[in-house]
Chain A
């Protein structure tokens, strides 16, 4: 391999490159849409130059900037959560979506909308509604995590295969629950349900971001600090304990951070599949499984990918906006199968 390419496997150059990629994705997201906006106007609207025309400014600040920020934060949260869960369970298929955490969070959020909406109107909750949704989502994520981790314990140790099967069941039940709520919901609530099932970066505005994003960002910053412990954990739980890792404490702490990240991400954008599965896998293929690099690199690539996917979702079929979860699953599914086929028979599955 040529030296330039192989130097891109090293932590600093790779993170710089991925950082640039995320920046490019953000600029692309701000620039494209029904109204194409140039670089000068973007900078101007962000207060870094001559202020552009108020319509342009409002488009950037009220419509596109929140979406781009959501893309970066939620993409990073999903990718880092996926990488962390795969490390905790030493299984590259462990992903918050697959083990049911995302759908549990979504079910709780939908229940809060459909049932809580009626309740809130009668009680005159108003502003409290802004908190109700993320709280329900965190609660749903926590409950499913608790349920899944309890049910997947065999003889005191979490069994990865058991966990995926429990996740399968949880996903089915949550999907059914959301479908049931869709049946009793009406009008705008019904339309909102598509959002939860397939995700969208278009629903949350500044108020929602201000409430939920800090929690997600905090989890995003804290998870990568556990890279060395996660590396040791890949050897096995007993081996990690022999190396001096307090395994139970590490797992509890990471699961808490993951459910904060995932619960927050779902509250902001609904269920977006495959980012958590594919992004860490790509980084591992390119630069190996070292979590000290894997976690930050996944955050950058996840943010960049989701931002690009969102820009594509709202521009390819404009003025119709494709649900972003449909797009990520459409690309992610076949891509994942291709990866599995490529890796099969190499003696290493991941």
Chain B
């Protein structure tokens, strides 16, 4: 049971955005996708979400091609947090989160309200429940959207619950930390970890290798649409690979009392080469 891309290729106007990329996301793990701007991270996420169809290769959900599932069945198993949001209509924050429950089997109204309010709490915006969404700051909106996608796959599907635990659920996060301050970046990924612990497979496109080191079990590193590193985070994210990925000098610093190294970038002093 997994959400997997197998040797996918995606081209637009003769440009190859993804070249034979494979990635398998298993329930219970946090998987980070790293790479420079334009490396194909978001394209890979959109292929896994079913927004785009690969020209070659395939994407499957629990062993069946993604396109063979109905939109509703797919929505009950996987939620997607897009990179940017465009909601301009004046829903309250709790109404936005309740939209996440569209495809879910509806519980009694009290239960639905409890799920919405717990999701808002988890995302750290419980006190904003009655505020109008368009009046929130960028970071607050991002956290309300996080609450919405968590509410969408809040509980395992009753008909797919097995002895091994809940039915499989997947959460795809496209740069979830982009508009968050330092504390909320960690808060967001801590929530992702908690969610993974309850049996959800979490895929997160990230820019900060330190967040990947701390929160991801596995990592996929892309360069110009190709995988240049994939596997257990600590093993893959070496100094050499990070320097190749980002094209600048990198130092892994071990601080006292911390098991994890900290990635420190040393940009060339004369001129940044983009």
Contact = CB atoms under 8 A, between A and B. Distances in A.
Contacts, number: 78
A226 interface: no
Contacts of A232: 99, 102
B152 A243 contact: yes
B79 A242 contact: yes
A122 to B, nearest CB: 53
Interface stretch (A201-209, A233-241, A316-324, A334-342): A233-241
Interface residue tally on A, bucketed by range = 20 to 34
Query: Which A-B residue pairs are the 4 nearest by beta carbons?
Result: A244-B75, A244-B103, A348-B134, A289-B89
Contacts of B271: none
Contacts of A289: 89-91
B99 A348 contact: no
Contacts of B150: none
A347 interface: yes
A251 interface: no
B88 interface: yes
Contact of B82 (A228, A236, A246, A346): A236
Interface string B80-103: 101001111111100110011011
Contact of B51 (A229, A235, A241): A241
Given A231-B99, A348-B135, A242 B90 contact: no
Given A242-B75, A244-B74, A288 B99 contact: no
Contacts of A347: 134-135
A201 to B, nearest CB: 32
Contacts of B92: 288
Of A231, A239, A245, most buried by chain B (CB within 10 Å of CB) is: A239
Nearest to B101: A243
Contacts of B90: 284, 288-289, 348, 350
B76 interface: yes
The dominant DSSP class at the B interface is mixed
Nearest to A249: B71
Contacts of B99: 231-232, 235, 243
Contacts of A242: 49, 75, 78-80, 82
A186 interface: no
B72 interface: yes
Interface string B147-171: 0000010000000000000000000
B91 A234 contact: yes
A348 B87 CA distance: 10
A349 B80 CA distance: 26
A19 B175 CA distance: 47
Contacts of B87: 234-236
Given A236-B85, A245-B102, 4 more contacts: A90-B88, A234-B87, A243-B99, A244-B73
A232 B100 CA distance: 8
B95 A290 contact: yes
B51 A238 contact: yes
Given A241-B51, A288-B95, A347-B135, A246 B88 contact: no
A347 B78 CA distance: 32
A243 B91 contact: no
Nearest to B89: A289
Given A234-B91, A244-B103, A288-B92, A348 B132 contact: yes
Interface string A82-93: 000000001000
Interface of B: 49-51, 71-76, 78-80, 82, 85-92, 95-96, 99-100, 102-103, 132, 134-135, 152
A234 B85 CA distance: 11
Given A228-B102, A232-B102, A348-B88, A239 B82 contact: yes
Contacts of B88: 90, 348-350
A221 B255 CA distance: 67
Of B50, B51, B89, most buried by chain A (CB within 10 Å of CB) is: B89
27 contacts: A228-B102, A232-B102, A235-B86, A236-B82, A236-B86, A236-B87, A238-B82, A239-B80, A239-B85, A241-B50, A241-B51, A241-B71, A242-B49, A242-B78, A243-B99, A243-B100, A243-B103, A244-B73, A244-B102, A245-B102, A246-B71, A288-B90, A288-B92, A288-B95, A290-B91, A347-B134, A348-B132
A28 B51 CA distance: 53
Nearest to B96: A235
Nearest to B46: A238
A243 B70 CA distance: 11
A245 B88 CA distance: 19
Nearest to B92: A288
B71 A245 contact: yes
Contacts of A245: 71, 102
Interface in A258-295: 284, 288-290
Contacts of A228: 102
B89 A234 contact: yes
Contacts of B103: 243-244
Contacts of A231: 91, 99, 102
Nearest to B79: A242
A235 B96 CA distance: 8
A288 B102 CA distance: 18
A232 B87 CA distance: 10
Nearest to A343: B90
Contacts of B72: 244
Contacts of B85: 235-236, 239
Given A231-B99, A236-B86, A288-B91, A244 B49 contact: no
B28 to A, nearest CB: 21
